[in-house]
Amino acid sequence: MGLARSGVAAARLLHSRGESVFVTDSGKPRASAELDALGIPWEAGQHTAAKFLQADEIVVSPGVPLTIPPLQAARAKGVPIISELELASRYLKGDIIGITGSNGKTTTTTLVGEILKAAGKTVQVGGNIGTAMCGLVDTSTPFTINVIEVSSFQLDAIVKFRPRVAALLNVTPDHLDRYADFAAYRRSKFRIFENQTDADIAVLNCDDANVYPPPEGLRARRHYFSRTDGIADGAFRFGGMLYLNGLAVMAASDVRLRGEHNIENVLASMAITSTYGVRSSTLTSVISEFRGVEHRIEYVASVRGVTFFNDSKATNVDSAIKAVASFDHNIILILGGRDKGAPYEPLIEAMRGKVKRVLLIGEASAKIAAAMDNRFPVTQVSSLEDAVREGATIGEPGDVVLLSPACASFDMFDNYEHRGRVFKKAVQELPQ
């Protein structure tokens, strides 16, 4: 169910294993030519209810809510419903490192992959970023380390998915448009540890009260990371240095990524990769050269003294808070998109003394403006391109125009990557 990246990868994998596959999507077909070439039947624009009841198993893409009527009817009949993540884990060879959290997943997953590659390991990176997990199956070997970014939506439909190393970076309010409440969302995140045994490793953020202490029943051996506390089994910062298992590795000032949240991501990466015996010299070399991932506080350009940063990946309030905290002051902040149910008041508090003007776009504009209650100068704009031009017009030398929307992108864009690319193109087209 789902004709996007993970759904097509799942269909391709099952077809290659001789299974009879049917693909359905309620939206516009995006990969129909590939399915036609493989001889896989599909439908788009609607769902045929009978297909769900006839299925031996249903594989859902992450964007599909498990509560929609066709899935509820199938579940009532006893048809198993699994995620693409669960399907891929049946066939994937080698170790799985699963990384989840409300924020920082992509940065940490990417950095872990870079560290392990530099250490001479055979590594594949994918899942919720890049290549869908089913697309990694055919290139995996018994010696492969598969570093997988995992979302809560994928974890909602697992059965036996079991990473050798599972990391939970943080849990903050997100996707409350899909979950009954924050507690349900938090439970979903903790499912990454559900099938682990004492032969596996759980990596936990000691600084996040929603992560540590974990709920009862976690069986894996625990490794920790913290920006504030010394930890015997894990990674921590103390006195300007980053430590691993009690030994100094590198100066925190050598981390090139902006913001305290990225110190957490680096420490998490150190704790995860230490389970594979990576040398301190390798950690130091890779981390000091790592400049982050696209669409995450990404420097774009300076135009007439105004600097533009693309943080399109900030699809929730907490992520936008971290982005704002990464700059000292003089921020022109672009907010808005599709609302996800979380309150905006914590972000507004974090903006005090840093944000000089807000540019609002998208469906959530009115809700965000109401939450700000005239505490900041606000300009409503009709498009992201207009927001870039407005930022360039009102910006003064030393100002930062920051796209950090705190919202999903689906009201105006295909995804956050599309939004980020539009922002960067608009910046590059500004008169110099």
Active site residues: 105, 128, 175
Write out the two tokens for 260.
Answer: 């305290």
**Furthest CA-CA distance within the chain:** 64
Q: 430 exposed, middle or buried (CB, 10 Å; 0-12, 13-18, 19+)?
A: middle
Q: What is the DSSP string of 222-247?
A: EEEEESSS--SSEEEEETTEEEETTE
Q: Buried b / exposed e across 360-375, counting CB within 10 Å, b at 16+?
A: bbbebbeebbeebeee
Number of other residues whose CB lies within 10 A of the CB of residue 276? 17
Alpha carbons 159 and 264: distance in angstroms, whole number: 30
Alpha carbons 291 and 35: distance in angstroms, whole number: 37
Q: Is residue 13 classed as helix, strand or coil in its secondary structure?
A: helix
Alpha carbons 399 and 305: distance in angstroms, whole number: 7
How wide is the angle at C-alpha 43 spanned by C-alphas 41 and 45, nearest 5°? 170
C-beta of residue 55 within 8 angstroms of C-beta of residue 79: yes
How wide is the angle at C-alpha 412 spanned by C-alphas 411 and 414, nearest 5°? 95
| Closest residue by Cα to residue 337 from 303, 373, 375, 311 | 311
